[in-house]
Amino acid sequence: YYWQVRVWDNLGNTSAWSAPAYWQTGLMGPAGWKATWIGPGYQEDTINQASPYFRKAFSVRKKISRATAYVTAHGMYEARINGKKVGDACLTPGWTSYNNRLQYQAYDVTPMLVQGANAVGALLGNGWYRGYIGFSGQRNFYGKDIALLLQLDIQYADGSAESIVSDGTWKSSTGAVQLSEIYNGETIDARKEKTGWDAAGYDDSGWSGVKTAGKDVSALVATENEPVRKHETFKPVAVTVTPEGDHVIDFGQNLVGWVQLRITGKAGDKLSIYHAEVLDKDGNFYTENLRAAKQQDNYILKGGGEEFFEPHFTFQGFRYIKVEGFPGELKPEHFTAVALYSDMEPTGSFRSNHALLNQLQHNIQWGQRGNFLDVPTDCPQRDERLGWTGDAQAFSRTATFNMQVHNFFAKWLKDVAADQLDNGAVPFVIPNVLGQGAVASAGWADAATIIPWNMYLAYGDKKILENQFDSMKKWVDFMSANSTDDLWNKGFHFGDWLFYRPFDDNDGRSAVTDKYLIAQCFYAHSTQLLVNAARVLGKKAEETRYGALLKRIKDAFLKEYVTPNGRLLSSTQTAYVLALNFDMLPENLRAETAQRLVDNIKAYNNHLTTGFLGTPYLCHVLTRFGHADVAYALLMQDTYPSWLYPVKMGATTIWERWDGIKPDGTFQTPGMNSYNHYAYGAIGDWMYRAIAGIDTYEDGPGYKHIRIEPHIGGGLTQAAAELKTYYGAVGSAWRLEGGKTLLDVNIPANTTARILLPVTAEGSVMESDLPLNKVSGLKVTGVKDGVLEMEAGSGTYRFSW
C-alpha cells in the first residue's frame, strides 16, 4: 500500500505532497506459512555446539516484481542470499516469551535475486533460546534444539508467484562459527570457513541433509519494534601494557556491542579478546564483576593475507579489551568497537553550562543505549542481562525523552502480559526465565501499570492502554486478593533496592524503608493508574469500582503507617517521597511531610539516601512542594552518594551502585556491581521536565497540550532541552544574561501550551520586546503562587524578565 501526506496551516497554506512511501501486509496468520522448521541433519557436538549453516539452491526464470523473505529461528539467525547478508538487523529474531510469542522478520529482497541460479541460506546461534541464560548457569531454557524457519515469497511480473521454503530438501553443515554464547562470547575458526557457501554454484555435495521439525507456527507474531542494529563506532583512545603485563585497549566509552578486528598472521594463530568495563586502581584489567560471564571472543586465523573478524550472535558490555595472541605489533587501527542497540530514533537532548551535568546526561543516554537491546535489561555485561521490571518502570519516563521507545515498550509489554501468571502476579524479569516463584515484588511488578501509562502520556496512543488493560487489571486484582482489609502486607519484596545505608545504621537516620509501606504505596499507585486508564478508555464500571478501592487502600495506609500526629512510621526519604508522590496523605499533612523530607536531606548534608524505588520521584516531589532548591542541591552534589559522584570518578554510563568505585579507588562487592545500569538515570526525567520545563498534560497526552515551566536555579546560568514529538519539536531554553532571564520556547503546529514563569507581575515580562498583551497567540490567564500563567498557540517565543 502506497501513501503520501500533505498538510494545511491556519492561514490556508497547503504543503507539497510528501514523497511516496509504502507498507505491505505480513503473513496473515498461520495459514500464510508454507515453510517447515528445519534443524541440522548431522550429529551436533553437545558441548561446543558449533553454529549450523543451512543452504538451498534455486532458479529464477522470470522477471521478478517483488520478493519478500520471512525469517525466524529457535535461537538467533543470520540469513543470506547470493553471498550477502539479508537486512542489517542483528541478534534476530530478538527476545520474547518464546513459548507464547516468537517474532519473525520480513525483508524486501527483490534486489538480491538474479535471473538464473540463486542461493538462500542462514546460520544460527544459540542466543537466548538454548544458550546460557540467567545467573544460575541454566541452558536450554526454551529448548535443546535450534531451528530455522524461512519462506521466500516471489511475485513475478506476469502475476504468478512462487515460494522457496525451508523444508527437507535443504542442506546443513558447520562452518567457521564454532561457539556462540551471549555471556561467554564467540569463537570463529577461519580455517573452517566454507567460502561461497551462501552463493549459487557452491558444491554442497559434502553437506548433510536436515531434520524437519514440523510446521507449528502458532506462536509466531510479526515484529512491531525496531530491531537491534549497529550504531556508533569507536577507535581506541589508548593502547597500554598494564602493571600485570596485559595488552589493554581503551575505547573511551562504556558501550554494548562487539569489537571488529583486522589482522594478518599465519594459519592457526589464535587471538583472544576479553572485555571489561573498568580497570582497577592500579590500572589492571578487572573482570570480577562479570561473575560467570566470560565475555571472551576468539579468532583463529586461516592465513594468507589480511583477515576480518566480527561476531554474529553475542554482545558484550565493555570499555576496555584485553588482547592475547596478537601476531605482530598491536596497533589502534586494527580494532574498532561497534555499539549495538535497538534502532530507536533519538528524540531528546538536554544541555547546560555545567560540564558534569552534561556528562550525566551523556551517561544516562549511553545507559539507555546499552541496555535497550530488544528488551530493557538491567545490565549488559555479567551473567544476567535480564528484563528486570523494576529497572524498566523506574526509567521508562526518562527513556521517552531520550529516544522514541513506543514500539520498544509496546512489544515488551505484550511479553509482560504473556508471562504474567494466571493469578495476575507479574514476574521479576520479562521474558521470565527465573520461574513462577520469582514474581509479585512491589515496584517491580508495577511495571505492568506504570509503563503503559507512561507510554500513553508520552505518545498519546490509547492503543497501548487497550492492549495492556487486562494485564493492568490482573495485577491490581492480585494485590487485592493478597491483601487483608485493603492492606498489602505479605509476600516477598525487594524494597528500595540498593538504597544508601551508612555504617552507623543506629544513628536514628537509617535509610531502611519498611517494605510493606512501599508495597502499599505502589498498590495505590497501580490502582490509580488503572482508574486513569479506565477513564481514558471509557470503562465507567471499572473506573468506579477501582476508584472506590483506591480510597480504601489509602485509608488503610493512614491507619497502618501514619501516627495520630501525622508522622510516617518509616522516617526515610523514600517513605516521604512515595507517600507524597502517590498522594497517600491528606492535604493537611502534605506540606509538613515535605518539610520532613527536606530536613532529612539536610541531615545527610544534601545527599540522597534513596534506592531504585524512591530515586525516580525524589526531585519531582521536592519541586512540587516548593523545594526545587533542595532538588538542585541533590542534583549538584558531587560526593557519595549522588548522581555526579560517578561522573567525577570517570563514569561514562550510569552505575548500579552509588559507590561502584569508592573514593579510594577500590570496588564495591563484585557480586553485584555493574557499571552500566540505567535505573538511577531516572533523574533525566526531572532534568527535562523541571530544569528545562518540558512536560505534557494528561488531558492532552503526547504533547498535544504542552506544559512549559522551567525552574531556574542550581547555580546554572543556562539550560536547554528539545524533544521531537509526533507534532514536531518542542523546545525550551533559558539563560541568565545581563541581569535578566531569557527564555526561548518552541511550540509545534497543531498543539497548544501552557507556559508558567516564576514572576508575579505580567508587566515585568516581555515577548520579543513586546508586552504580553500585544502578542498574537498568547493569553495571560493569571498569577498564582508567584507563577505567571499563560496559554500559547504554536510558534516560537522569546520571553525576557
Query: pLDDT per residue over 258-284, tens digit each?
Result: 999 999 999 999 999 999 999 999 999
Q: Say if CB 277 and CB 676 are below 8 A apart.
A: yes
pTM, entire model: 0.97
- Per-residue cell: 376: 530493557
Element (H, E) at 523: helix 515-537
Tell me which long-range contacts 324-328 makes (C-beta under 8 A, separation of at least 24): 324/246, 324/247, 324/271, 324/272, 324/274, 325/269, 325/270, 325/271, 325/272, 326/247, 326/263, 326/271, 327/263, 327/264, 327/265, 327/266, 327/269, 327/271, 327/301, 328/264, 328/265
Angle made by CA atoms 504, 505, 509, in degrees to the nearest 5: 105
* Best CA proximity match to 413, nearest among 387, 439, 379, 380: 387
CATH topology of domain 229-342: Jelly Rolls (2.60.120)
Query: pLDDT per residue over 216-244, tens digit each?
Result: 999 999 999 999 999 999 999 999 999 99
Domain with CATH 2.60.120.260 in the chain: 22-225, 229-342
Q: What is residue 503's predicted lDDT score, i.e. its pLDDT? A: 53
Sign (positive or negative) of CA dihedral 288, 290, 293, 298: negative
Q: What is residue 507's predicted lDDT score, i.e. its pLDDT? A: 46
762 catalytic? Reply is no
Q: What is residue 48's predicted lDDT score, i.e. its pLDDT? A: 85
384 catalytic? Reply is yes
CATH number for the domain formed by residue range(s) 22-225: 2.60.120.260
Contacts of 588 (CB under 8 A, 6+ apart): none
pLDDT at 695 over 70: yes
CATH topology of domain 348-685: Glycosyltransferase (1.50.10)
Q: What is residue 505's predicted lDDT score, i.e. its pLDDT? A: 44
Grade residue 545 by pLDDT with cuts at 50, 70 and 90: very high
Average pLDDT over residues 157-169: 98
Query: pLDDT per residue over 607-619, tens digit each?
Result: 999 999 999 999 9
Q: Which of 186, 277, 656, 767 is catalytic?
A: 656
Query: pLDDT per residue over 403-457, tens digit each?
Result: 999 999 999 999 999 999 999 999 999 999 999 999 999 999 999 999 999 999 9
Alpha carbon distance 378, 371 (integer Å): 7
- Per-residue cell: 256: 554494548
Query: pLDDT per residue over 34-70, tens digit each?
Result: 999 999 999 999 888 999 999 999 999 999 999 999 9
Q: What is residue 510's predicted lDDT score, i.e. its pLDDT? A: 60
Alpha carbon distance 701, 319 (integer Å): 39
> To the nearest whole number, what is the mean pLDDT of the chain?
97
CATH topology of domain 705-800: Maltose phosphorylase, domain 3 (2.60.420)
Strands 210-212 and 38-40: what pairing? antiparallel
Grade residue 506 by pLDDT with cuts at 50, 70 and 90: very low
Domain with CATH 2.60.420.10 in the chain: 705-800
Name the CA radius of gyration of the chain, rounded: 28
pLDDT at 504 over 80: no
Query: pLDDT per residue over 30-39, tens digit each?
Result: 999 999 999 9
Average pLDDT over residues 177-204: 98
Domain with CATH 1.50.10.10 in the chain: 348-685
Query: pLDDT per residue over 331-387, tens digit each?
Result: 999 999 999 999 999 999 999 999 999 999 999 999 999 999 999 999 999 999 999
Q: Is 144 helix (H, G, I), strand (E, B) or coil?
A: coil
CA distance to 260, 265, 297, 405, per residue, from 271 (Å): 12, 10, 8, 38
Alpha carbon distance 597, 574 (integer Å): 9
Q: What is residue 110's predicted lDDT score, i.e. its pLDDT? A: 98
Q: Which of 384, 543, 709, 767 is catalytic?
A: 384
Average pLDDT over residues 662-673: 95
